[in-house]
Amino acid sequence: MWKEAERLASLFLEAGVQEGRVAGLGLGSSPRFLTSYLALCRLDATVALLSPQYGRSELTAIASGVGLSSVVADAEVAGRVAAAIPIASTSTAPNGLEVLIPASPGDGGSADALLKFSSGSTSEPKGIALTAPNIITEVENVAGTLNLGEGDRVLADVPLFHSYGFDLGVLPTLYSGATLLLEDAFVPRRTLMALAGTGVTAFLGIPAQYRSFLAARVASPIDLSRVRWLLSCTAPLAPEIVADFFDRFGAPICQHYGSSETGAVTTHVPSEVLGRPASVGRPMAGVRVTVVDTDGATQPRGADGEVVVSSGAVARGYVLGAPLPPSPLEDGVFRTGDLGRLDSEGFLTVVGRRDSMINVGGFKVSPAEVAATLERHPAVREAAVLGVPDGRGEEVVYAVVAPFRSADESELLTFCQGALAEYKVPRRIEIREALPRTASGKVRLTPGELDA
């Protein structure tokens, strides 16, 4: 793989990629993602991880905001890049890769090693800059906590350009010598068979995939107890799902918590999962987690507050779409905006977002709690919840769900009424084939996207 990366580095140079400049990488999950990434590292480039789903507005904002001097992409992404920004030249490299050189490339080099992008409050993504020491600290934290080595096989069913797939898939396998397994698509029964029969020791999954595993019909019982790490990230996982999964497959799901700004923060311990199924685990090696009140004072164990993360892996800062001052990211410390609590043994439970609580007649409602309740219904694959202005200066709870099977709104409302306080029950539940997502894969729901 390194020999292939060396060959690509030479070809990239010939195509106009300049050493030490900002280079975009717009590829899906495939082996050429890794060889292209290594090739750009060989050229000492600042690698900007571009979602293959980005459209004109995101690509235009990124190109001008971070000074892209080149882009390595597949043909489809290359076409969208060329439609978004003026291109001086395009070259085709092996394996269908295209190298694009903007007509007005960014000037000067960058001391950063990596740029990640996550969804901002507008169409402009947030650009997060990481230094080489940030990356080295991150990969040591992950490989050390998960105890990955050359004999391990990591199955990644999440995008490699996403922080989760990159930080727990790409980096630790390159660092430890483990094998990274990729699938062209997520097919629940096929993936279950791969987990049971191919020596997988770690699986990078998301909550919707674990719910799909439980809904999958298989001819014979499947035992996943030999998979050392079944990780779940990007959204909360209902404790009932954790319990049902263990009963059926004999393995605990370890919830993982992290962000683009922090990298990996916590991972649950398999032996402790059933006793704390709602927890996202303890801090990983080299990471400090505290919970603070609105004044920044550390909260006692068991009390709710904002989750604050400190480590050498915390990003240097923002280079695009920075939040309004004061910045939540400063000097190796990130105020996450998540609400959580630490128990007496240091296990973290995340209970919601500070800025997303719904105010219903003076009562606070956590969207995460309502979404988790809906996802306990056997017909619901995924749910998203938000507050909608009611025209009288207050909010009502509104939900959108993607089902496994046919379900109607009245059935789901009745289910919520039996599980939630009256003020938490959604006023409306909209049923769709899929939830709306941003180009980086996050569920994004706004009042303007809802049915009247």
Domain-embedded: residue 120:
no
Predicted pLDDT at 447: 66
pLDDT score of 441? 67
CA distance 75 to 55: 14
The helix (run of H) or strand (run of E) holding residue 25 is strand 22-26
* Furthest-apart CA atoms within the chain: distance in Å: 65
The answer as to whether 441 is a domain residue is yes
For residues 141 and 227, state if they share a domain.
Answer: yes
DSSP 321: S
- Residues 229, 85, single domain; the answer is no
The DSSP line for 56-77 is HHHHHHHHHHHT--EEEE-HHH
Tokens of 65: 């905001």
Q: Are residues 248 and 364 in the same domain?
A: no
In a domain, 80, yes or no: yes
On whether both 82 and 165 belong to a single domain, the answer is no
For residue 118, being part of any structural domain is answered with no
Given 316, 351, 386, the domain boundary residue is 351
Whether residue 91 is contained in a domain is answered as yes
CATH number of domain containing 215: 3.40.50.12780
pLDDT tens digits, one per residue of 168-202:
999 999 999 999 999 988 999 999 999 998 899 99
Residues 304, 291: contact at Cβ < 8 Å? yes
Q: What is the pLDDT along the chain (452 residues), one digit of tens a residue?
A: 999 999 999 999 999 999 999 999 999 999 999 999 999 999 999 999 999 988 888 899 999 999 999 999 999 999 999 999 999 999 998 788 999 999 988 776 778 999 999 875 445 789 999 999 999 999 999 999 999 999 999 999 999 999 999 999 999 999 999 999 999 889 999 999 999 988 999 999 998 899 899 989 887 889 999 999 999 998 888 898 999 999 999 999 999 999 999 999 999 999 999 999 999 999 998 899 999 999 999 999 999 999 999 999 999 999 999 988 889 999 999 999 999 999 999 999 998 887 777 878 767 788 888 998 899 899 999 999 988 887 766 789 999 999 988 889 999 999 999 888 888 999 999 999 988 877 666 777 666 566 65
pLDDT of residue 443: 77
> Mind giving me the DSSP string for 284-306?
PTTEEEEEE-TTSPBPPTT--EE
Q: Which residue matches tokens 């990629």?
A: 17
Look up residue 135 and give its amino acid. Answer: I
Same-domain check for residues 15 and 72:
yes
Residue type, 220: S
Peptide bond between residue 326 and the one before it cis (omega within 30 degrees of 0): yes
Same domain, 153 and 104: no
State whether 336 and 437 are in the same domain: no
- Do 167 and 83 share a structural domain? no
The pLDDT tens digits for 67-103 are 999 999 999 999 999 999 999 999 998 788 999 999 9
CATH number at residue 380: 3.30.300.30
**Domain annotation covers residue 285:** yes
State residue 448's pLDDT score: 59
Contact 182, 204 (CB under 8 A): no
Domain that holds residue 396: 358-449
Both 146 and 254 in one domain: the answer is yes
Residue 407: phi, psi to the nearest 5? Answer: -155, 150
Q: Name the strand (E) or helix (H) holding 9.
A: helix 2-15
Sign of the alpha-carbon dihedral angle for 159, 163, 166, 169: negative
Q: Which of 304, 336, 351 is the last residue of a domain?
A: 351
What b-and-e string marks burial along 356-385, b requiring 16 or more CB atoms within 10 Å of the CB?
bbbebeeeebbbbebbbbbbbbebbbbbbb
Residue 122 lies in a domain: no
CA dihedral 21, 36, 144, 258 (to 10 degrees): 70
Q: Write the CATH number for 44.
A: 3.40.50.980
Q: Do 335 and 197 sit in the same domain of this protein?
A: yes
Domain boundary among the residues 294, 319, 351 is at: 351
What is the identity of the amino acid at 73?
A
DSSP-derived letter for residue 316 is -
Residues in a beta bridge with 291: 307
Q: Which residue in 49, 67, 55, 166 sits closest to 117, CA to CA?
A: 49
- Specify the number of domains making up the chain: 3
Half-sphere exposure (Cβ direction) of 275: Cα atoms closer than 13 Å: 9
Q: Are residues 95 and 162 in the same domain?
A: no
The CA distance from 39 to 428, in Å, is: 50
Q: Could you read off the pLDDT of 217-254 as tens digits, one per residue?
A: 887 889 999 999 999 998 888 898 999 999 999 999 99
Q: Residue 76's Cα: distance from chain center in Å?
A: 23
In this structure, is residue 121 part of a structural domain? Answer: no
Label residue 272 exposed, middle or buried (CB < 10 Å: 0-12, 13-18, 19+): middle
Tell whether omega for the bond before 403 is within 30 degrees of 0, i.e. cis. Answer: no
Same domain, 399 and 293: no
